[in-house]
Structures are given as C-alpha cells and as structure tokens.
Amino acid sequence: MPCTIKLLKVDDQAEADFYEHDTYERIVEAARQVDPRILAAVLLAGDGGLRRGEIIALELTGLDLKAGRMIVRRNAFIERGVEYVDTVKGGKSKPIPLTSRLVDALKAVRHLRGPRVLHPDDGGQLTPKVLKTWIMRAERKAGPAQTGRIHIARHTFASHLAMAGVPANTIKEFCRGEAPA
C-alpha cells in the first residue's frame, strides 16, 4: 500500500533549560531582596518542583509548616480570560516536603488574605502574567537573561536532584508528587 511519510521537525534544543547552582542562588537572593511573594514563588518551583498553575492555585489549607510539608491539590489555568481550577496533573494530590528556606518564605507570606498563598499587590488573583512579571523582576536583579519563565526553576529542581545523584525514577516520583519508595 503506497503511503506518504512526513517527518517531524526535530527540536535542536533537546535539553530543558535550568539554572546552574550559582545562578539559581543569585535569583533566590534577588527575589529575597525584591519581595517575599517573589521569593516564595521562586522557591515553590525551584525547591519544591511546583508547576506554574500549582503555584497560582496553592491554597493555605495545604500548608503544614510545622511538619515541613504541603499538599498540592489544585492547578489553575486561564483560557480566554477565564480562570479554571482543576486537580493537579495526574489527578492525585501531591505531598511535597519543604526545605527550611521554603518554610521561612511561606511563613512570610501566609498572613495575606484569601484562600490562596500568593496574591498580587491589588489583592486580586495571581495570574500567569503577574507571576511572569515577578520572575522577571528577580531575574533582572540577579543578572541572568530575563525570561519570566517559572518553569525553568522547576527544571532546576529536577536537574539539581539528578546532579546530586538521585535516581531518575525517584526524581520522576518527586515531580509527580508521589512519595519515593
């Protein structure tokens, strides 16, 4: 049977972007100097491995700062100007252990009003655009290229685990929010 095969274009950049240790630490320090909410957002992605929508939808009820953990239950996304909140990718709640500096950053912002952890200055909802602006502020102060892409910090989380010798399956479980065996 004759057929036509169309080859897909291969992306020349097969590796995910991530921050080297020193660059990530500069961004963390810059975020600390700029705004406690920006620091919390950077650390939620870079120390906790959260996705953008999970950071936006993170609820105060999911935090257990004394035990040093959080449960991520929701993912928020905006389509045509309307915010939708859904379960996290994979449909299961994600238990996440917290680093001590992430606990401190979350303590600094938990006093804010509303059911969610992070809010912009006007008290409204945190949107992808606001989050991108926050990340760009930290990047500008730290010096690397300004992308505003919070997902680079998530890639940093996984990459730093790999560089530390953590097995790939364990990293996959952490990123999915499963408790590693």
Residue 46 has pLDDT above 90, yes or no: yes
Residue 71: phi, psi to the nearest 5? -115, 120
What is the pTM for the complete model shown? 0.84
For the chain, the domains span: 21-176
Q: What is the pLDDT of residues 57-72, one digit of tens each?
A: 999 988 999 999 999 8
Question: Does residue 153 contact residue 42 with C-beta atoms inside 8 Å?
Answer: yes
CB neighbours (10 Å) of residue 9?
A: 5
Nearest-angstrom CA–CA distance, 161 and 165 = 7
Residue labelled with tokens 């502020």: 137
Report the topology of domain 21-176.
hpI Integrase; Chain A (1.10.443)
Give the residues across from 63 on adjacent strands.
70
The answer to whether residues 56 and 142 touch, using CB atoms and an 8 Å cutoff, is no
pLDDT score recorded for residue 75: 85
How much is the pLDDT for 102?
Answer: 96
pLDDT of residue 70: 92
What pLDDT is stored for residue 25 in this prediction? 94
